Amino acid sequence: MSLTLALLIIVISMISTNTVARENGYDLDFAEEPEYELVNEFTKGGEVIGWSYKINIKIQNTGNTKSQETVINITDEEGVTLSKKTVINPDETKNIIFNWSTVYSKDQTIKTSFYPSDLDEIKNQYNSGSTTFTVIVDEKDDIAATSTPGFELILLLFSMLGVILIKRKNKS
The pTM (predicted TM-score) of the whole model is 0.67
Return d(Cα 45, Cα 106) in angstroms, integer.
Answer: 21
Half-sphere exposure (Cβ direction) of 7: Cα atoms closer than 13 Å: 4
pLDDT band at 19 (very low <50, low <70, confident <90, very high): very low
| pLDDT above 60 (res 23) | no
Lowest-confidence segment of 35-49, 92-106, 144-158 by average pLDDT: 144-158
- Name all domains of the chain by residue range, CATH numbers in brackets: 2-142 (2.60.40.10)
Backbone angles phi, psi at 111, to 5 degrees: -100, 130
> Where is pLDDT greater, at 33 or 151?
33
Average pLDDT over the chain, rounded to whole? 83
